[in-house]
Structure 1
Amino acid sequence: MRPRAASRPARGGSLWGLAADDPAPGRRLGAELPWLWHLHRNGLEGVGFLRRALGRAPSDRGHLQARLLTGLALVVDTASPLDQEHGLARQALELATEHGDEELRGPCLSLASVGRFYTDFEAAWELTTQAVRSARAAGDALFVHAQVGMQGMIRHLQDRHDEACSLLESAVDGLQGRHPGIASTALAFLSATSLVRGRPADARRSAEDALELAEPLHDYLRVGIARGALANALVASGDPAGAHDAVRPVRRLVGDADTDVFVPGAALTLGRLCLADGDLDGALRWFERDVRQTDHGAPTYLAAQMHVGYGEALRLAGRIEAARDELDRATDAARRLGMPRTLADALEQQGHLTGDISLRHEALAIRLDHGLRMYWPDSLESLAPAMAAPATVRVLAAGDRAHEVMGLPRRPGGRRGYDATLAALRDELGAGFPAAWAEGAALSPDEAVAYARRARGARGRPASGWGSLTPTELTVARLAAEGLNNPQIAARLFMSRSTVKTHLAHLYAKLGVANRTGLAAFPAAAGRAVAP
């Protein structure tokens, strides 16, 4: 399927044709129009029309019915994909397969993958793999590159960013001359990947390129996604005014009560922007919009992210029990979907909520293991107060330096508490403060993270025994005692197998055992020490 020009008379002709005794001409004309509805704000009109066209021949299993089903899946992709897109695409795929239409199978598989994208990354990945095979068999380079882009988006959400970057860059190269709209979306995800890797300047360039491709298309979905990516890059770079300017048209579009449009991530971006401004009421309103979003009853990846933002806003507003509930939902959804970054964000917020420093350390471990450098400065500064005074100063100085090196300024709202902490430390350390600060400021971000992880025991953790284990080591010990192997532990905790092996080596040494058999010899002690 390719974009086709369609006019109001053409739509009128289709409606007239569907009302005729013989609806076939109207159905054929309607099959030419889905890209019109897909690209513009009148998608719900298209959904209604295409459902009517399908309803005029409900038992038809011909090629025209397959095209109409594919067209309907395409329109709901931008108008209202949740609960609809995957099922429609699968119906279309069944008919396309019956007719041996490999050219139509590629788009059907592509749309089916988008339908699973919101709630099941691995199922979506498998569908993209099938779609690439069908598109290659049909000689359809557009859908090959489109599916490579989808795979890059999936890897981004799984925080496999080296893979994501390679796939997205390949997709952009292949799509720019074929489908600038999909290329724009791939660039927006490339921007997000650059940002979480701590490269805000690269993120801004990719977002600006995405917007440059999307604007001439007048495709509200692509423009909205690109503007959201640009706003995220700008606010992270310390330009909230520029972020507001970038996202203003999106705010008008999705905030219009008379317009039912779907722009993935728009409410999340707007809520985060309000949080950065300290506008808790605004943040709560935006997060509440999509925080219960589901697809066939399962929370979407967007809802998982919204739970974290909503939980943070509720915590800052003093609504502690509600915040606890939202953050519990966030961790459950992040674990189910396989979203390490969202899990780390939720754990850090739970650490702030409960005062449990081990949760903040666990968040840092996840961020370290997945290269989520954007969040390292915040992790450092959240961990510092739990350390002895000289270590606290070093870690705060290292965090301050990391903000500067990465070009990621501290949120304005956090400045007052940060300054008060520094003032108290100056009083406590006196003449020793400048030296400790200089030592921390000399650390690179990588060295600072390593130092913070070493310094966590500065307040008296024993050198051996169950009490010497870090929270992550305790969790690894529990899972090993339950019989999980290294790959299973790695999958459960979102870490590499080599990291699991390292944790096991450390805890064996601290416990004075040689292997899992030795660990299993102390089940009662292990159970008490590592129970979740």
Structure 2
Amino acid sequence: MEADRSDLVDRTAEREQLCAAARRAAAGHGNAVILEGSIGLGKSTLLDHLAEDCAALGMRVLHGAAADVEQRLPFAAVSAVARAHLGRDDDLDRVTALLRGRDALARSVTAVHHELAVTEELLALADRWLSRGPVAILLDDAQWADASSMVLLHRLARDIAQVPLLLVVAARAMAPGEALTALQRGLLARGALELRLEPLPEPAVVALARAQLGAQPGQRLRRLLRAHGGNPLHVKTLLRAYRADGLIQVADGAADLAGSADPPAVPQSLIELARGQAAQMPREYRETLQAAAVLGQTVDVAELSTVLEQPLMAVSEVIADALGTGLLVDDGHGLRFRQGLTRELLDRSVPQSVRTALHQRAGRMLTGRDGAPERVAAHLLAGGALGEDGLGWLAAHADALTVRAPDLAVRLLRRATADPAEASPVLRTHLVRALLWDGEPAQAERLAREVLSADGDAAWAPDLRWLLVQACYRQGRVQEAIDAAGPAVDSPYTSVGQAARFRGIAATCLFLLDRFDEAVVVADRAVADGEAAGDAEAIGIGYLAKAVGLAKDDMAASLALTELALAHLGHGIRPDLQVDPYVLKGLCLLELDRLAEAAEAAATAVRHNQRTGGVFLTTAHAVRAHTLFLQGHWDDALAEVRSGLDGPDPLGHAPRLLAMADLIAVHRGDAPGAELPADAGEADGRYLVRWAQALAAEAQGDPKHAAGLLRPMWEQADGLEGRRMMYRVCPDLARTTAAAGGSGAVRALADDLHTIAAVQPTPSLAGCAAYCRGLAEGGVAPMRAAADAFRQAGWPLYEAYAHESAALALAAAGDQAGAREALKQALDGYGRLEAGWDTARARARLRDAGVRDGARGRRGRPKHGWDALTDTERTVAELVATGMSNPDVAAQLFLSRRTVQSHVSSILAKLGVTSRVELAVAASQRQGQP
């Protein structure tokens, strides 16, 4: 690293701390730095030199600044730091295309979900880069960063200590903004270094002036410099201005103010100084830079030449001078203002009328070119009336603009349709779509109804009616969605394929309202119309609707229909489907005891929802966690729980995950972590919360209270279909009810289960029925039948339950040897699961029955070291140690990137290491051991 940095006067300590942070990151121990200071104190200069230092260390450097004019543009700040790498990295180019909105309307439901998908892709890209080498992300002017970029940086920083990442966020001191404040708070909580730049002391100011002037400042010049409060930017700007105007004289190694009298009072603020400089510029030079400032943070010379109607060569000369003075910089991917403040001041110096005229000219010029839609739209919005060209451009680019800058799209479309009498129905339809995308379904519905009431019979009407159906459904108004679909089906402008899709969504809604007979008729018609039109997507929607309706009554039939739906929908599954077919497939397989396939289907659902920012992501994690719980892979289930909780939960399924974690905690003899009210979560999953609370009550010695929590859920379920969805609680309900003296209730429970099993027989249902029958009758044979059924279903916990109860029945029959053998089988099963509470309960119950196992039982897995790792964790550790990224490991193991990261965190904790580099070293050392 270079030692001499004349423009870093008196910043040696700060620079060394930043370099030390870079060296730690390059060595594999990531860390973050918050750099704060007032305007002009040297933040940008420090970052410039740090970028060079990081490059010298072999780090991939992402260095850029947020812009005030892009605060409402999603991922603008992240795009700025990555701009120099565009065209050099295929993965980055692919993610950038997604960020710019490619296929977004066909992939995601709303802007929020699209941003979630982009965030996930960017995190995966960061994982891949970090697996190849150290990375430095240096963001300047973070006070202007957009919220999406702040969220991404926050997510990156969660596990920063594990990876070779340096994250430096520089911002003005006391800068407002909730997103920036939240990021800074999160970084500090993870041990980030906080550097606050203070004004330079007078000796440092003198040294800076000496470096700038090549001579020692005299007393009068020092007195002038002292008035600028130790601000290096003020000092350098003042010295350049005074020297250019001949107000500083250098002679015999000394520099001082020219003349005998002090100059007029110097403005105290940089703003006034900058304005003074601007006023002294040649008019053509000043106007060119002012126009550039009005048009944005980046500078396009050809665009500027066209807007100003000046020769390209003349504009290029001004830009070259600005580059030479440092006013502009070339970041490798274009020109931009070196300081956001400079652009801001130049922009403010332009009268509003001139600014509007410049935007109008830019808007007219750019509508005829293939430019970024958000840039064109910003000029059109700032330029006043749109005109015919502007309206034509907006109609052609509304979808692209909606995806890239939804807030800007809504505002521009509102202006374009302000007069309903003059507004084009096409533009108003675009506005409805933009409102839906921006998360405003109620406003979208009102506007759609208003447009359709004026002219509902037109070629454009089916598209608008589809948006109306979606707007109603997203507000939970299912009947209104059905009502809105009716006129669309009957319209002469609706094609057969479109009608099939409307019928498909109407059928889904009818099933949700339990209007089964009507729904079947409509769903069958949807499939028939889709086949007649050759519309595979319409056919898929129809099959999916019918699969939803059959899910409570006939899981096998529902699975078959779901498979048909997936075959027709392919990989182009619409984001506005009311049901996720991958999740539905996983649920069907789970209910049919095809657990390995269910886990695989749920993993596919997770990846699909991550790729699209889908609303069913938490649900998919919950299905997979439940499946892994039943399989006895509890650590893997907990990894899914952690992954599922790491994101938004629009459907309210997070309580399912928390309840699953609590169930595992109670079984292992730990205290449950979630304090959820009994009515937490949505209705279908509420029994899971009660289940965990009941088990905790039993573990605390109160089986009566436990039974009292579970029994009402069973008794109040919606018929046998509703009970079938929660029958997994029955062994615990039967055990606690029997312990509380309710043998009659246990017998009734067994009868219910036999009835359910007769309709949809599965091994697990047969096992639950036999288990409850055995508890009611006290027989050994039903318990052995239950154990066999649970073994066939792949439910090891329940199999151990059956062995435990069989041991009690054998003890009651006087068969001590048989009881001891059954107890041993139960304890072996509990031991494999590390179910400490179940182990203690079984021993205590059998001890009370006069049976002692006489053995220590299965030794549990150690808590630390390589032997503490589960099979999945061991595989993940081996792959990570070879240098594979989380996304690559996820693809190989059929997991999600988030789940792999959850496993990595668990692995590091068990091995007592803090980074992936240390993990690789530990793995290498282990392989070298005899």
TM-score above 0.5? yes
**For residues 345 and 235 of structure 1, do their structure 2 counterparts lie closer, same or farther at Cα, with a shift above 3 Å needed?**
closer
Q: How does 1:56-455 map to 2 (within 5 A)?
A: 58-63=453-458, 64=460, 66-77=462-473, 79-80=474-475, 82=476, 84-102=477-495, 103-120=497-514, 122=516, 123-158=518-553, 160-179=554-573, 185-219=580-614, 221-254=615-648, 261-262=650-651, 267-268=655-656, 270-278=658-666, 282=674, 284-285=676-677, 287-291=679-683, 302=684, 306=686, 308-309=687-688, 312=691, 315-316=694-695, 317=697, 318=705, 324-330=711-717, 333-334=718-719, 338-339=721-722, 341-342=724-725, 353=737, 354-355=742-743, 356-365=745-754, 366-388=756-778, 391-392=779-780, 394-410=781-797, 419=804, 422=807, 425-426=810-811, 429-431=814-816, 433=818
SS at match of 1:429: coil
**For residues 418 and 141 of structure 1, do their structure 2 counterparts lie closer, same or farther at Cα, with a shift above 3 Å needed?**
same
Summarize deviations over 1:248-292 as a string: whole Å, max 9, x none.
35434456xxxxx236x554454355345437783743743323x
Amino acid at match of 1:167: L
Partner of 1:49: 444
- Higher helix proportion, which one? 1
Tell me whether 7-16 or 197-206 shows the greater mean CA deviation: 7-16
Amino acid at match of 1:12: R
SS at match of 2:680: helix
Amino acid at match of 1:376: A
The answer as to whether partners of 2:504 and 2:526 remain within 8 angstroms in 1 is: yes
Summarize deviations over 1:338-366 as a string: whole Å, max 9, x none.
54614856887875544323222223311
**For residues 324 and 405 of structure 1, do their structure 2 counterparts lie closer, same or farther at Cα, with a shift above 3 Å needed?**
closer
Partner of 2:317: none
Cα shift at 1:163? 1.4
SS at match of 2:716: helix
Cα shift at 1:174? 2.0
**For residues 65 and 186 of structure 1, do their structure 2 counterparts lie closer, same or farther at Cα, with a shift above 3 Å needed?**
same
The answer as to whether partners of 2:527 and 2:542 remain within 8 angstroms in 1 is: yes
Q: Which runs of 5+ in 1 are unaligned?
A: 256-260, 292-301, 442-532
Cα shift at 1:201? 0.8
SS at match of 1:289: coil
Structure-2 separation of matches of 1:52 and 1:312 = 45
**For residues 437 and 423 of structure 1, do their structure 2 counterparts lie closer, same or farther at Cα, with a shift above 3 Å needed?**
closer
**For residues 187 and 138 of structure 1, do their structure 2 counterparts lie closer, same or farther at Cα, with a shift above 3 Å needed?**
same
The answer as to whether partners of 2:806 and 2:822 remain within 8 angstroms in 1 is: no
Cα shift at 1:208? 1.8
**For residues 119 and 281 of structure 1, do their structure 2 counterparts lie closer, same or farther at Cα, with a shift above 3 Å needed?**
farther
The answer as to whether partners of 2:435 and 2:444 remain within 8 angstroms in 1 is: no
Q: Which runs of 5+ in 2 are unaligned?
A: 1-104, 107-398, 698-704, 827-930
CA RMSD, Structure 1 to Structure 2 (Å): 4.0
Summarize deviations over 1:193-212 as a string: whole Å, max 9, x none.
22222121111122222333
Structure-2 separation of matches of 1:334 and 1:111 = 26
The answer as to whether partners of 2:767 and 2:787 remain within 8 angstroms in 1 is: yes
Tell me whether 88-97 or 310-319 shows the greater mean CA deviation: 310-319
The answer as to whether partners of 2:485 and 2:506 remain within 8 angstroms in 1 is: no
SS at match of 1:157: coil
**For residues 165 and 284 of structure 1, do their structure 2 counterparts lie closer, same or farther at Cα, with a shift above 3 Å needed?**
same
The answer as to whether partners of 2:589 and 2:597 remain within 8 angstroms in 1 is: yes
The answer as to whether partners of 2:503 and 2:522 remain within 8 angstroms in 1 is: yes
Cα shift at 1:46? 3.8
Structure-2 separation of matches of 1:402 and 1:242 = 24
**For residues 57 and 125 of structure 1, do their structure 2 counterparts lie closer, same or farther at Cα, with a shift above 3 Å needed?**
closer
Structure-1 separation of matches of 2:712 and 2:505 = 34
Structure-2 separation of matches of 1:319 and 1:400 = 24
The answer as to whether partners of 1:196 and 1:375 remain within 8 angstroms in 2 is: no
Summarize deviations over 1:74-124 as a string: whole Å, max 9, x none.
2454x43x3x13323422321441335134322322222222232316133
Cα shift at 1:179? 2.1
Structure-1 separation of matches of 2:590 and 2:663 = 18
Cα shift at 1:191? 1.7
Q: What's the TM-score once normalised by structure 1's chain length?
A: 0.63
Structure-1 separation of matches of 2:478 and 2:452 = 20
Amino acid at match of 2:795: L
Q: What's the TM-score once normalised by structure 2's chain length?
A: 0.38
Amino acid at match of 2:792: V
Tell me whether 144-153 or 55-64 shows the greater mean CA deviation: 55-64
Amino acid at match of 1:341: R
**For residues 217 and 314 of structure 1, do their structure 2 counterparts lie closer, same or farther at Cα, with a shift above 3 Å needed?**
closer
Structure-2 separation of matches of 1:346 and 1:434 = 25
SS at match of 2:586: helix
Structure-2 separation of matches of 1:323 and 1:184 = 29
Partner of 2:378: none
**For residues 177 and 344 of structure 1, do their structure 2 counterparts lie closer, same or farther at Cα, with a shift above 3 Å needed?**
closer
The answer as to whether partners of 2:770 and 2:783 remain within 8 angstroms in 1 is: yes
Amino acid at match of 1:70: W
**For residues 345 and 424 of structure 1, do their structure 2 counterparts lie closer, same or farther at Cα, with a shift above 3 Å needed?**
closer
Structure-2 separation of matches of 1:431 and 1:200 = 36
Partner of 2:45: none
SS at match of 1:19: coil
SS at match of 1:282: coil
Structure-2 separation of matches of 1:184 and 1:97 = 25
The answer as to whether partners of 2:472 and 2:481 remain within 8 angstroms in 1 is: no
**For residues 385 and 358 of structure 1, do their structure 2 counterparts lie closer, same or farther at Cα, with a shift above 3 Å needed?**
closer
**For residues 273 and 106 of structure 1, do their structure 2 counterparts lie closer, same or farther at Cα, with a shift above 3 Å needed?**
farther
Summarize deviations over 1:316-353 as a string: whole Å, max 9, x none.
542766655444321xx235xx5461485688787554
Amino acid at match of 2:447: R
Structure-2 separation of matches of 1:197 and 1:55 = 48
